[in-house]
Amino acid sequence: MEIKLPRYFKYVIILLGLFLAIWVLQSFKSILMPLVFALLFALLLLPLTRDLEKLRFPRALAILTCIVLVVIVLGLVIWFLSLQVMSLTSELDTIGKNFDALLMKVQEYLYHNFGIQPANKSELFRNLVGGLQELSTTFVGSTISLTTGALTMITIVPIFVFCFLYYRDHLEQFMFKFVSKERRSSLNHTIDNIQVVAQSYISGLMIVIVIVALLNSAGLLLLGVKYAIFFGVFASILTIIPYIGILIGAMLPALFTLATTGHLVDAVLVVLVFMFVQFLEGNFITPYVIGSKVSINPFAAIVALLIGGEIWGAAGMIISIPMIAILKVLFDAYEPLRPFGFLLADIDEVKDKKSGRFRRMFDKLRERARKERYEDDREAEQ
């Protein structure tokens, strides 16, 4: 006998469920965050792992090979950035002197044009030193915490990735236990769509980072900015945090240029370079590299970004977009939740993707190739 509940009671249950989910995410952050990152990396490495297994690699060896390749690439990037940071610290004295001279010019301008008296240098220096001491204390504490978290992620995430990939068949059978046989094809389709979304986003994001790094570095080199490659690569890596990362990436080289040259025009030119690259990335590079698989409207992306940052900090901001894209796939697969999938969808997707015949044809070919590869993998596993 079916029990009908009042509508308001259902809404109360949903709100309580959301609060409970947020509490669980915050309380078990140290466990859930590595699991989520490992799941995304496992989905990214799944095609390469299957290709190695087709070449008669044992599953364990194929997974270890993929993980080692990722570790080598990340290690090279960290090594390059570390060398650049060490070289950059040697210029701190020059930057401090240039800032002092720039501050004097600003004070003189304010005094001659607006009659504002220059501040007492000794008092200003004491305030500055006090602020730097407080900032350094906070920075050291944050660095220790971040380093501890990074070491934990470096050790635990590869283990989780290995387990996800090695036991993927077992995990799939586990999910089948929750649905009837006639609905397993629908579940297979949903899982396949989640894999496509995650793989399209992460692999496409890596390609976008490389392209943006080249464009940023080229623009800064043309302007004659020192450490142009470092600032270009650093800013491109920050694009993994949507909308906010590019702002941080543009501020650092602009301030550095202002400190080294003392000319506001040079700093403005640096900002213009990053604005132009951001325009290219948002309107041409990302839509055609990542494609229409991760079609989330900007409003939903910003809300997800804020929620992810509030729950898990910077890590939550990084994984907010792929996670909300996966949620959209789940919403679209379940009839009662399809209105939420419609709410998250991009306007271009709602308008049946009126973005050009070539792009629609490319998406169809990619979808056909994906289905053929999926069927081949199924046959190989059976």
| CA distances to 111, 166, 203 from 103, in Å | 12, 60, 45
| Cα gap 274→301, rounded to integer Å | 21
Write down the pLDDT at residue 335. Answer: 80
Write down the pLDDT at residue 360. Answer: 53
pLDDT band, residue 139 (cuts 50/70/90): very low
Separation of first and last alpha carbons in the chain: 42
138 or 268: which leads in pLDDT: 268
pLDDT band, residue 365 (cuts 50/70/90): low
- In this structure, are residues 322 and 205 in contact, taking their beta carbons and an 8 Å threshold? no
Neighbours of 58 (CB within 10 A): 10
Mean pLDDT score of the chain, rounded to an integer? 77
Mean pLDDT of 167-173: 89
Cβ burial of 94 (10 Å; 0-12, 13-18, 19+) is exposed
Mean pLDDT of 165-191: 85
Write down the pLDDT at residue 368. Answer: 62
As separate numbers, helices (DSSP H) first and strands (DSSP E) second, the chain gives 16, 0
Write down the pLDDT at residue 152. Answer: 63
| Cα gap 253→256, rounded to integer Å | 5
The lowest-confidence range among 28-42, 79-93, 125-139 is 125-139
Place of tokens 């396949």: 192
- In this structure, are residues 268 and 245 in contact, taking their beta carbons and an 8 Å threshold? no
Write down the pLDDT at residue 113. Answer: 72
Cβ burial of 116 (10 Å; 0-12, 13-18, 19+) is exposed
Write down the pLDDT at residue 62. Answer: 94
pLDDT of 298 over the 90 cut: no
Write down the pLDDT at residue 370. Answer: 60
Which residues does 167 contact at the CB level (< 8 Å), separation at least 6?
none
Identity of the residue numbered 169:
D
369 or 305: which leads in pLDDT: 305
Mean pLDDT of 160-164: 93
How large a percentage of the chain has pLDDT more than 70?
A: 71
pLDDT of 143 over the 60 cut: no
Tell me the DSSP string of 93-144: HHHHHHHHHHHHHHHHHHHHHH-PPPPPHHHHHHHHHHHHHHHHHHHHHHHH
pLDDT in tens, 204-232: 888 888 999 999 999 999 988 888 888 99
Identity of the residue numbered 229:
I
49 or 130: which leads in pLDDT: 49
Neighbours of 352 (CB within 10 A): 8
| Cα gap 123→126, rounded to integer Å | 5
- In this structure, are residues 304 and 324 in contact, taking their beta carbons and an 8 Å threshold? yes
pLDDT band, residue 176 (cuts 50/70/90): confident
Which two structure tokens, joined as six digits, stand for 310?
A: 């509030």
pLDDT of 134 over the 60 cut: no
Place of tokens 């990436």: 249
117 or 297: which leads in pLDDT: 297
Write down the pLDDT at residue 136. Answer: 46
pLDDT in tens, 21-51: 889 988 888 888 889 989 988 988 998 999 9
241 or 165: which leads in pLDDT: 165
Which two structure tokens, joined as six digits, stand for 50?
A: 């299957």
Kindly report the CA angle at 38 between 37 and 42, in degrees rounded to 5?
Answer: 120
